[in-house]
Amino acid sequence: MQTVAVIDYGMGNLHSVAKALEHVGAGRVLVTSDAKVIREADRVVFPGVGAIRDCMAEIRRLGFDELVREVSADRPFLGICVGMQALLERSEENDGVDCIGLFPGQVRFFGKDLNEDGERLKVPHMGWNEVSQAVKHPLWHDIPDNARFYFVHSYYIEAGKPQQVVGRGHYGKDFAAALAEGSRFAVQFHPEKSHTHGLQLLQNFAAWDGRW
C-alpha cells in the first residue's frame, strides 16, 4: 500500500485533509513532522493556513524548506492554500516574507485592488468560486472546466511564469488558482472542503504518477 505524508509544521487543519485523502482511498495517510517518514513516503501533501510569517518561521526552524525542495522533485507533491503560497519566492504579507522559491512569483494582497465597481475588494476572498482550467493536467481528470471550489484567502498568487498556471480564479481580477511543474501541483483552494470536485482532485492525486 502506498503512503501519503501530510507535512505537519503546526499550521493548518491537517486532519481534515488526511480524512479526505483516506475517504478517496489514497492509501496509508500519515500526518507527520518526521523528516524520515516524509522522505520515505510515496506522495507528499503540504497544507497550510494562517500568517505566512509564522508558517515560514516554523518551516525554516524545522528545516522543511530544504525537505520540501527535495521531496517535491521526485514524487507527486501537492501544496494547498498557504502551503501553495509558501512555494513562491516572496509574499508581501507582514511587510514582506521570503518564501521557499520553488515557483517564481509573488504573493499579493487582495485588499489593495478594486472590484468592477471601483470599490476595494473585501478580504478574505471566501466561499465558492469557479476555476478555469488553463492547461490540461492529470489532476483535472473528470473535473469539468469552471468547476467550483472552496476558497479562504486574503492573498493571491501573481505567477512569474504564466506557463505554470494550470488553473485560474477571478475575484476582482484574475489570479492563479493552481500551479504545476513536473511532479509539483499546488492549489489556492481547499480540495478537502470542496465536496465532489475537491475529492476528485485528491483521488486524481492519489493515482497520479507525477509525470506531466
Task: Please give the positions annotated as active site.
Answer: 81, 190, 192
Which DSSP symbol is given to 119? P
Contact status, residue 40 vs residue 63, Cβ threshold 8 Å: no
Residue type, 93: E
Residue type, 122: K
